[in-house]
Amino acid sequence: MNAIEVQGIGKNYKNYELSDVTFEAPKGYITGLIGPNGAGKSTIIKMIMGIVTPDQGGIRVLGQDTGKEEAVYKQKIGYISDENIFYDWLSMEQMKKVVAPFYKDWDELAFQRYMDQFELPMRKKIKDCSKGMKMKYAIAIALAHNPSLLIMDEPTAGLDPVFRRELLELLSEYILDEQRTILFSTHVTTDLDRIADYVTFLNRGRLVFTDTKDEILERYVLIKGGKELLDNDVRQAFVGVRETSLGFEGLSADRSSAVSMFGNSVMYQQPTLEDIMYFTVKERKVRV
Ligand SMILES: Nc1ncnc2c1ncn2[C@@H]1O[C@H](COP(=O)(O)OP(=O)(O)OP(=O)(O)O)[C@@H](O)[C@H]1O
């Protein structure tokens, strides 16, 4: 079963077009939405939240179409925006009193526990909080109503490496009961290397791939070889190539064809998601 189904969505802005994007976030798993700046990650998340309306296609969240009976499914979503959506002039305690009544499953004890765990002082005004504190506060609020679906737009932005790792662990634990689902966007792919089950990659408003992380990492291969091997046919076989003084480094999206093409004449390496994003985005820039 899928917690989120995005089907052929599109959106036209003045200098940007999102086109024909389809992917799912399966229930019980963590799905990462990756892409460079301006790829369209926030736009898609806002569409899932019903804040932006798609020009084409449709989205189903927890079995309901977005835009209809929104309040019902939104009760079950914990949403972390990439913008500050809280009233800056209130303290964290006061803001909580504004937000909590909207949720019928608000769990005050859980909220207090997260505030303690994240070392957040209740009486501090939101405007006086650091970027990381605001993010931690948004996470505490989002988790305190026990959402079955957690949707987060760049949740690790502004977090120090220690809390970043703690948050990723907390998210892994959060889905252990297999009833909860997480979708989060990031351009820091190492977050996904650690915890994502599925990865959806967007570039310039287009879907590059959507698959399980393991299958993606198995399909792609990073190849290092000497310059003499690099002719036009070889270049065409790569998603992207980087020439160095000693030779080349290229990314292939088809491991078995690459092995039959190069045999033992090159070195093969397992790429990271960052390598895949780097070569894909770099090549697209050159071709445009
Ligand atoms: N309301 C709007 N009006 C016009 N253009 C918009 C609007 N909202 C977003 N865009 C454009 O859509 C494109 C995608 O933006 P979006 O914020 O979805 O990207 P992103 O992948 O989240 O990027 P980042 O990683 O930098 O946050 C950008 O070119 C942006 O300028």
- Rounded to the nearest whole angstrom, what is the distance from the C-alpha of residue 275 to the centroid of ligand 1? 23
Mean pLDDT throughout 105-117?
95
184 and 250 part of one domain: no
User: What's the number of domains the chain is made of?
Assistant: 2
Looking at 212, 228, 252, the residue that finishes a domain is: 212
207 and 227, same domain (yes or no): no
Domain boundary among 193, 212, 231: 212
* 177-196 confidence digits (pLDDT tens): 888 999 999 888 888 888 99
Cα of 256 vs centre of ligand 1, distance in Å, is 37
Domain that holds residue 265: 220-284
Percent of the chain with pLDDT over 90: 64
CA 219 to the chain's CA centroid: 20
**In residues, how long is the chain?**
288
Give, for ligand 1, the residue of 43, 82, 183, 188 to mutate: max count of ligand atoms closer than 8 Å to Cβ. Answer: 43
For residue 177, give the 3-state DSSP assignment: coil
Is there a single domain that holds both residue 176 and residue 46? Answer: yes
Q: Are residues 107 and 142 in the same domain?
A: yes
pTM of the model: 0.90
**Per-residue pLDDT band at 286 (split at 50, 70, 90):** very low
- Same domain flag for 140 and 11: yes
190 with 78, same domain?
Answer: yes
Question: Is residue 82 predicted with pLDDT exceeding 90?
Answer: no
Kindly provide the ipTM of the predicted complex, given to two decimals.
0.96
User: Which CA distances in Å does 53 have to 8, 32, 124, 182?
Assistant: 13, 22, 36, 22
